[in-house]
A and B are shown apart, each in its own frame.
Chain A
């Protein structure tokens, strides 16, 4: 199975930086907890830590 990073790029989310990743995920019309779940999985797969300061920007846009 392909990576979550590839999938996110397919739907137009720029993953070059964690900032652009969070901005892109935040723009999707899904709930805040769903955004957290995606970013949690991304961090696990890519071995990165997404700072709380970025996560605090997430909003419910469903």
Chain B
């Protein structure tokens, strides 16, 4: 398992994270002031690349494409004093968002960042009503920002 963390940004950085979609950015702008005091910093667009065995004849450039295409990407990885919070931003969040966060948690535990607590948070302005119950059963928090 490979992890591409990138740079950690201070909580008061205030810039636009690279690769964050416009919809995700709008949700992040509301959610971030609510949680800022909990965190030491943020990593954005963290790539988790599962171990994949490719045929030996695969060229280096094709390998690069393959790994990039199969990487799972965490919108925001927030650093706490005890570990990490995985923050998934989705405007329309179905129950599949829970599985996505579970996969991120699983892969993160396989990385070198194994120590400490890892929690999942789904932030949405239009969550599926079933999402709250399903996520709670899996220990994942759901935050509804829309009205």
A interface list, Cβ under 8 A from B: 1-4, 6-8, 10-13, 24, 27-30, 34, 37-38, 40-41
- Are A6 and B33 neighbours in the complex by a CB distance under 8 Å? no
B interface list, Cβ under 8 A from A: 14-16, 23, 25-30, 33-37, 125, 143-147
- Are B16 and A40 neighbours in the complex by a CB distance under 8 Å? no
- Are A11 and B125 neighbours in the complex by a CB distance under 8 Å? yes
Contacts of B30 in A (CB 8 A): 4, 7-8, 11, 38
Pick the contact of B29: A6, A30, A37 (CB < 8 A).
Answer: A6
Given contacts A1-B16, A7-B27, A11-B26, contact A30 B33 (CB under 8 A): no
- Are B26 and A10 neighbours in the complex by a CB distance under 8 Å? yes
